Chains A and B, each alone.
Chain A
Amino acid sequence: MMRIEEKLFQNRYRVDPGRAHIEIADADVCAVHCKEKPCTFCCPAGCYAEDNGGRVTLITDGCLECGTCRVICGEHRNVRWEYPRGGYGILFKFG
């Protein structure tokens, strides 16, 4: 079974260093108030992970800009979601 990292490796990205287009608004909301943490298993690029302390970490480099994390966080509205700056982010070769 192919791992998500291997899938994303095939894609083309233009990363905007130091300018994540998606942010977790309040880390405590994820750690304390969100039990399910659906972002950690629904994100199709596996950008979200839960660490040992129950905190959610987000690395947007592999983001496919689909919007899943924002929509799935409907209860807590804890995802600050924007598109990357023009020209940055995923650059689909085929789409």
Chain B
Amino acid sequence: MSEHFDAIVVGAGPAGNSAAYTLAKAGLKVLQIERGEYSGSKNVQGAILYSDALEKIIPDFREDAPLERHVIEQRMWVLDDESCIGGTYRSADFSKPPYNRYTIIRSQFDRWFSKKVRDAGALVVCETTVLDLHMDGRCVVGVRTDRENGSVYADVVILADGVNSVLARKAGFRGELKPKDVALAVKEIHFLPEQTIEDRFNIKGTEGVVIEMAGKITQGMVGTGFLYTNKESVTIGVGCLLSDFKKSGIAPYALLEQMKAHPTIKPLLAGGEMKEYTAHLIPEGGYNAIPAIYGDGWLMAGDAGMFVNAVHREGSNLAMTTGRVAAETVIALKAQGKPMTAPHLAAYRKALNHSFVMKDMKKYKDVPEVMDKNRQFFTDYPRLVSQAARTLLTVDGVDKKTKERAIRKAFTGARSTFGLFADAFKLWRAFE
């Protein structure tokens, strides 16, 4: 492996595959290195695929991509110990092709994407871990792998090696992750007969439902839970800030077990067979946690660059978009005969600034801090809302005015009148 490449892509998740595919399609000589036995075998996600980001790379992906269900309904649940209050958006419009989002199983989807990368002409090498970057002064010139004589060189290296980005840390491009900037999510996949899933979730054919949850299930920690429907399985998971897990002393798998036992959730899983348990860190530090994403001879895409919109549960689409834009930056420089130096690669950051990626990241830049400092959104409010619903919906001879007074008293008792307005203002400021 002593050849010279136009570009080396480290990692074969959505960011790495998008970058490698785009580069190879443009005729560049590309090497992609993946540590798993195949692309996808180390990758974990909920998982929802947003069509738009992939369409911009592979417009006809629907023809052969392994997709589970297209999402026609989203439920938002706030859970108390025993109860659940929430909202649903379901539309027949979501069942008209082309579909906007799908549930997917990552090991299968990534494997499909990897085949597209190879078909486009990239050399994909699996079962190979990149140990560190080769530098010439400040410039990245290649990578050192764990293969014998495993050094390879290229004009540019795209780091798409995920949230832990060992390479970026070793090279000093990025510091260690902070526990408050990452969520630890644990997830299980439960297999059920297709018919059972359709009956249980009121869907047919390839229609699917996603449920996002908050409240007591995170036991006061900043975090959310989810349940997604696949063809013959459902995935259920919960993620909270790692700094909160550290403080709470609650084991992540115990939190998931308690969530699965919730009276609203348990019947949805009944009779299922659990076939895999996974864990993953999600970069949720937002805009302020984005490190340097380019330098002399290198670019960074996907989770490695902290590109996750935690508010909207988007990540893989940001990974695909940053991977694609990184590749397009390299292709343009190559066409102009310009070297892959930091001043030239700055075009990558500029292009992202003009895209939805940085615009969305910027819009919610204060959310992580507001959530961290205002625990009431994960503790008091779910409880208060749930109690209010219970009070109003229990018919017991108490007149409605008295009930309303009791609810108001509960809210002001917990947060004070000023506190309620302040909380509303904080939310408005964070999300405006």
Residues of chain A touching chain B, judged by Cβ–Cβ distance below 8 Å, are: 1-2, 4, 7-8, 10-11, 14, 36, 38, 41-42, 44-46, 64-68, 70-72, 74, 77, 81-87, 89-95
Interchain CB contact under 8 A, A85 and B276? no
Interchain CB contact under 8 A, A7 and B253? yes
Nearest B-chain residue to A83, judged by Cβ: B129
Q: Which of these, A4, A45, A72, A91, contacts B36 with CB under 8 Å?
A: A91
Interchain CB contact under 8 A, A7 and B188? yes
B257 located at the interface, meaning its Cβ lies under 8 Å from any Cβ of chain A in the complex:
yes
User: Which of A67, A70, A89, A94 has most chain B Cβ within 10 Å?
Assistant: A94
Q: How far is the CA of A48 from the CA of B11 in the complex (A)?
A: 28
Closest Cβ of chain B: how far from A88's Cβ, in Å?
8
User: Which of A36, A44, A74 has most chain B Cβ within 10 Å?
Assistant: A44
Interchain CB contact under 8 A, A66 and B166? no
Q: How far is the CA of A41 from the CA of B244 in the complex (A)?
A: 12
B284 located at the interface, meaning its Cβ lies under 8 Å from any Cβ of chain A in the complex:
no
Within 8 A of A (CB), among B157-198: 163-164, 166, 176-179, 182, 184, 186, 188-189
Closest Cβ of chain A: how far from B346's Cβ, in Å?
29
B349 located at the interface, meaning its Cβ lies under 8 Å from any Cβ of chain A in the complex:
no
B214 located at the interface, meaning its Cβ lies under 8 Å from any Cβ of chain A in the complex:
no
Interchain CB contact under 8 A, A1 and B257? yes
Interchain CB contact under 8 A, A71 and B179? yes
Q: How far is the CA of A70 from the CA of B145 in the complex (A)?
A: 22
Nearest B-chain residue to A62, judged by Cβ: B277
Closest Cβ of chain A: how far from B176's Cβ, in Å?
7
Q: How far is the CA of A62 from the CA of B177 in the complex (A)?
A: 23
Interchain CB contact under 8 A, A66 and B280? yes
Closest Cβ of chain A: how far from B186's Cβ, in Å?
5
Interchain CB contact under 8 A, B278 and A92? yes
Nearest B-chain residue to A14, judged by Cβ: B37
Interchain CB contact under 8 A, A71 and B277? no
Interchain CB contact under 8 A, B176 and A66? no
Residues of B within 8 A of A65 (CB): 42
Nearest A-chain residue to B248, judged by Cβ: A41
B249 located at the interface, meaning its Cβ lies under 8 Å from any Cβ of chain A in the complex:
yes
Within 8 A of A (CB), among B247-270: 249-254, 257, 261
Residues of B within 8 A of A86 (CB): 35, 126-129, 145-147
Within 8 A of A (CB), among B365-422: none
